[in-house]
Chain A
Amino acid sequence: MASTIRVRATSSGEVTEVQALIQHPMDSGFVKDAKGDLIPPHFIQQLTFEHAGKAVFVADWGTAVSKDPYVKFSFKGGNKGDDLKISWIDNKGESDTTTAKIQ
């Protein structure tokens, strides 16, 4: 299965800028379906970015993060060709992990 995580990490030499886009419904639990039944909450709770074995960014998310979430941040260090590991886990215990190369 194709990864739910799309990531672009670019190093300017000193700073690595990371943009990530994740496919996830991010159901809040407040929305009703066509039959009028509440769609149960289903959302990513934690998203972690690791570089060289160290967490460089950790996102804790609630239900108010938009569907197919997007996040952007940057960190010092990180060279072209380095691995950046990205993983998420949602409130149902589902998860996904991918490793991207810094460009």
Chain B
Amino acid sequence: MFNIEDGFATTRRRILKGAVTAALVGLGHLSWRIAPALAAAGDKYPEEAFKAKGDADAIKALYGKTAEPSDKVNLDAPEIAENGAVVPISVSTTLADVTSISLLVSENPNALAASYRIPAGTMPSVANRLKMAKTSNVIAIVEAGGKLFSATKEVKVTVGGCGG
């Protein structure tokens, strides 16, 4: 009796162990297959998004989803830019798990101006200088926890930055 039960238990354990190993191997295989794809997507320059004309198309090309306005996105841009060639613009946010920050100028020939990737450990804050063809809305997009949040501000341009 004892021997039989013992044998049964051992077999059961072996089967369980086998199942766990198979599951682990399966998981390992899966993550190995996903990881390079993610890395490739993260490193690639988003050419199509930068070629898109309008802001909505550019956001769709870059992220594949739409953004909702949020007062947790702080967009700092001048009310009036005397020189559209150099408009100082900065973005910061109190949102957690930020993975990227992008800036769009709606009325520019190509709306997407810059997109910044924020790895873990980097502050969700960036300052830069952009060109503006004419008076336009500037849109800041913050990608946080897989969702998109935006802030919009109109900047009046006295002299355009595209040589016109």
Contacts and interface: CB of A to CB of B under 8 A. Distances in A.
Interface of A: 15, 26, 28, 30-32, 45-46, 54-67, 69-77
Contact of A66 (B45, B117, B118, B131): B131
Interface residues of B, number: 35
Contacts of A74: 122-123, 125
B86 A66 contact: yes
B116 A30 contact: no
B7 interface: no
B127 interface: yes
B163 A30 contact: yes
B122 A32 contact: no
Contacts of A72: 90, 126-128
Contacts of B152: none
A69 B50 CA distance: 17
21 contacts: A30-B162, A31-B163, A45-B45, A55-B119, A59-B115, A60-B116, A61-B113, A62-B114, A64-B112, A64-B130, A64-B131, A64-B132, A65-B129, A65-B130, A66-B130, A67-B86, A71-B127, A73-B122, A73-B123, A73-B127, A75-B123
A38 to B, nearest CB: 10
Nearest to A60: B115
Q: Most chain-A CB neighbours within 10 Å: which of B110, B119, B122, B132?
A: B122
A64 B113 contact: yes
Contacts of B122: 56-57, 73-76
A34 to B, nearest CB: 11
